[in-house]
Each structure stands twice: as C-alpha cells, then as structure tokens.
C-alpha cells in the first residue's frame, strides 16, 4: 500500500484504523463525498467499491472502478446482504445535524444492517465533539454538530445490541507540513495520557454475525462514569429521599415502573427493565442488562457483564445479560456475562450463574444447574 501518496491525514487515519480489508471483497462507502476514501479502497485494498451520497461531487467521475449512486442513508439503493464491508467516515452526525434525532440515527444504522452480509463488517468513523482541536475549529467555527463520545457509543450499542462491537479512539488531523513533527508529539501525548473521551476520532467496528454469543468491546480506557451518580449510590442514604431518587431515575431512563432500595448500584444505567424490583443489586453494566416484566431480586445480588483481557488489563470485554419475565433471583447470587435466564425461573441463594438457565425451573449451585422443573 502507498497511502502516503494521498495526504498526511488520509494516510494517518487508515494506518490508525489498521483494518485487515480482504482484496476482492465488496465495499459500500456510505456518504462518499469527493470519493477519496473510495479511491483508496479500490487502488490500495483491491476492493470492489460502491459509493452513495446525497450529491455527486465533481471528482467522482475521475475515480476508475467506482460504482456511484446518488442516494441517502435511509434508503440505500442496493440489495439485502450485498456488501462485505460498509464504511462511514464523518457521515452519521450530518444526517440530522440540526436536531440530532436519536430515532433518525438508529433508523440509519438499521439500514446499514440490511445491506451488509452476515459476518460482514460495518466501520463507523466519527469526529469527537469535545476534542481540543475539533471543538473550536469544527464545532464552533464551522458549525459541525459532532457527537459526544458517550452518545456515539450509546447509539451504536443500541442499534447493534448484542453484536460484536470493537470501539477505538485515536487522534488524527490534517497538520501543516512545516510543523508536522510538533503535531506528532502532540498526538502521542494525547493518545497516551489524555482520557479517550477527548481524542479526535471515535471508531466502531461491528461484526454483523449472529447476536448470540458475540461480544461488545471497549478498547482502551473505560467509559466515563457520572461521578455525582456514583457518589449518591455509594452513600446509599440519599436514595431514601425523593429528590435524590429523581436524579438516579433520570439516569435509569430505560427502566419503567421499576423499584429499588438504598444499596442498589450501577455504573452507567445500561439497564432495561419494566415492572421489576431490583432491590440492592449491584449492576456492572458495561453491556446492556435486560430484565423482564415482573422480575424480582432479593438481597445482595450482583450482575456482571464484563471481564478484563488477560493480555491487556485496560481492555474490557462485555456481554449482555438477559433475565426473563417473572424470574426471582433470591439472595447473594452472581450472574455472569452473557447469561440468559428463562421466564418464570428461580435462582437459589448463593448461586453463581455461568451458563444459560431454561424457563420454568429452579437453579442452584456453583455453577448453577437445574435442580427442579416447575409445573
């Protein structure tokens, strides 16, 4: 590959993506703009490349081998399961830049799922709103309404819930040639010492394979937690007062008619529940936790969705947990990442649930196993 023949920015961003494209595969460059990314896919990676955008740039006809169609992201004019790769580079924040409707963002991401093949890859690259260079230049001066990193991760995780997702964050800009050495030092400092929420680019690589058994990855530093929420949860006693419960409930935006008592804790509020009682359960919710209608928890339970890589402790892998309707998790139980518990089941006290539990049964032990089926 000779990425250097394009420009410093394009060379840097593809090198930092470091994605193993396979020659001969089919790529959709969604929101291809002037087509430079498409040209790189064709000439440097050997990909059969199609591009779409809401307008046709004057440079498009100069790119040999590119199939271009004028179209938007909500109605991609290609068949289902057609592409091995779908690529978006600074596109998603533009599709509803004035209102930034979450509904429209999810609608666009759903359309990407339609056109990508099973076990294909969707690669989303988005500028980060609060990067020290992007914010004054792109947001304030040029009016680009970039996403916060937390919102980027939330909509990607929601749209591709349960799929294998790898998040990456890095620094990359087009710099003046005369001072390139200075900016490369700046990049190294940013990537090594500054929290990832301030790095220039948010990247998500989604594997469109089967949902069951696939992981969500948070690569690098962990997502930022709300310190006020954590402080209130650790103190416990504020949860006895309605004002503080209102603050907590605002974070649990995906829980409806769901109760808890002081001692309940979570990290991010990544909990989906309805008509449930959480008691004082500790939710380690790096990945979503789904709790069915009527589920109940007794005292001192824990649900864990994550683990650390043995090779790199900073890398956290997480897997959603599903708890069915009318499940009763008794006391001092631990539910491990990726577990599914069927409707109407009971998890006996002190159990460690490592594997799926079927519906309508009582499970007990370490690891928890079915001891009785319920009629």
Position 211 scores a pLDDT of: 56
Position 239 scores a pLDDT of: 85
**Could you tell me which residues come within 8 angstroms of residue 176 by beta carbon, excluding any fewer than 6 positions away?**
183
Percent of the residues in the chain that have a pLDDT greater than 90, as a whole number: 67
Q: pTM for the complete prediction? A: 0.64
Per-residue HEC secondary structure of the chain comes to CCHHHCCHHHHHHHHHHCCCCCCCCEEEEECCCCCHHHHHHHHCCCCEEEEEECCCCCCHHHCCCCEEEECCCCCCCCCCCCEEEEEEECCHHHCCCCCCCHHHHHHHHHHHHHHEEEEEEEEEEEEECCCCCHHHHHHHHCCCCCECHHHHHHHHHHHCCCCEEEEEEECCCCCCHHHHHHHHHHHHHHHHHCCHHHCCEEEEEEECCCCCCCCEEECCCCCCCCHHHHHHHHHCHHHHCHHHHHHHHHHCCCEECCECCCCCEECCCCEEEECCECCCCEEECCCCEEECCCCEECCCCEEECEEECCCCCCCEEECCEEECCCCEECCCCEECCCCEECCCCEECCCCEECCCECCCEEEECCCCEEEEECC
For 217-227, write each residue's pLDDT tens digit: 554 456 677 88
* Mean per-residue pLDDT over the chain, rounded: 90
Question: At 212, is the pLDDT very low, low, confident or very high (cuts 50, 70, 90)?
Answer: very low
CATH numeric code, 3-218: 3.40.50.150
For 329-351, write each residue's pLDDT tens digit: 999 999 999 999 999 999 999 99
Q: Annotated catalytic, 308?
A: yes
Question: At 216, is the pLDDT very low, low, confident or very high (cuts 50, 70, 90)?
Answer: low
Q: What are phi and psi of 83, to 5 degrees?
A: -115, 140
Catalytic-role residue among 89, 94, 173, 308: 308
Question: At 191, is the pLDDT very low, low, confident or very high (cuts 50, 70, 90)?
Answer: very high
* Domain positions in the chain: 3-218, 227-373
Is 217:167 a contact under the CB 8 Å cutoff? yes
Question: How distant, in Å, are the alpha carbons of 16, 61, 223, 252, 269 from that of 286?
Answer: 25, 45, 8, 14, 9
CATH numeric code, 227-373: 2.160.10.10
Rounded Cα distance, 255 and 104, in Å? 22
As given in the structure block, the two tokens for residue 243 are 């004002």
Position 1 scores a pLDDT of: 66
For 70-129, write each residue's pLDDT tens digit: 999 999 999 999 999 999 999 999 999 888 898 899 999 999 999 999 889 999 999 999
Position 225 scores a pLDDT of: 79
As given in the structure block, the two tokens for residue 46 are 């050997």
Question: Angle at Cα 210 formed by Cα 356 and Cα 110, nearest 5°?
Answer: 120
For 117-152, write each residue's pLDDT tens digit: 988 999 999 999 999 999 999 989 988 999 998 888
For 9-24, write each residue's pLDDT tens digit: 999 999 999 999 999 9
For 196-210, write each residue's pLDDT tens digit: 889 999 999 998 875
- Does residue 309 register a pLDDT over 90? no
The edge-to-edge listing of strands for the beta sheet with 255-256 is 255-256, 271-274, 289-291, 321-323, 340-341
Question: How distant, in Å, are the alpha carbons of 51, 220, 243, 291, 363 from that of 134?
Answer: 26, 21, 37, 39, 53
């Amino acid at each position: 590959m000779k990425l250097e023949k394009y420009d410093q920015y394009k060379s840097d961003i593809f090198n930092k993506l470091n994605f193993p494209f396979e020659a001969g595969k089919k790529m959709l460059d969604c929101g291809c703009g002037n087509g430079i990314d498409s040209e790189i896919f064709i000439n440097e990676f050997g990909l059969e490349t199609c591009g779409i955008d809401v307008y046709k740039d004057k440079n498009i006809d100069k790119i040999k081998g590119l199939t271009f169609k004028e179209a938007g992201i909500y109605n991609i004019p290609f068949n289902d399961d057609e592409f091995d790769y779908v690529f978006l580079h600074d596109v998603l924040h533009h599709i509803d830049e004035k209102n930034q409707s979450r509904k429209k963002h999810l609608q666009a991401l759903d359309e990407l799922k339609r056109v990508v093949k099973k076990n294909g890859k969707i690669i989303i690259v988005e500028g980060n709103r609060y990067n020290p260079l992007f914010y004054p230049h792109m947001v304030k001066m040029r009016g680009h309404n970039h996403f916060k990193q937390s919102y980027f991760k939330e909509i990607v995780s929601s749209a591709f819930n349960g799929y294998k997702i790898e998040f990456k964050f890095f620094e990359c800009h087009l710099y003046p040639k005369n001072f390139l050495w200075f900016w490369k030092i700046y990049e190294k400092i940013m990537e090594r010492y500054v929290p990832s929420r301030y790095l220039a680019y948010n990247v998500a690589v989604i594997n469109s394979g089967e949902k069951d058994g696939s992981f969500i990855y948070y690569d690098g530093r962990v997502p930022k937690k709300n310190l006020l929420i954590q402080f209130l949860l650790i103190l416990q006693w504020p949860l006895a007062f309605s004002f503080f419960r209102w603050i907590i409930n605002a974070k649990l935006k995906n829980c409806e008619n769901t109760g808890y008592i002081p001692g309940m804790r979570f990290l991010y509020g990544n909990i989906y529940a309805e008509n449930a009682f959480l008691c004082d359960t500790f939710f380690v919710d790096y990945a979503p936790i789904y709790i069915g209608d009527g589920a109940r928890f007794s005292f001192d339970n824990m649900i864990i969705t994550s683990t650390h890589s043995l090779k790199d402790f900073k890398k956290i892998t997480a897997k959603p947990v599903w708890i069915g309707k009318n499940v009763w998790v008794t006391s001092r139980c631990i539910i491990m990442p990726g577990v599914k518990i069927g409707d109407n089941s009971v998890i006996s006290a002190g159990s460690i649930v490592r594997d799926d539990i079927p519906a309508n049964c009582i499970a007990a032990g370490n690891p928890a196993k079915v001891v009785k089926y319920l009629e």
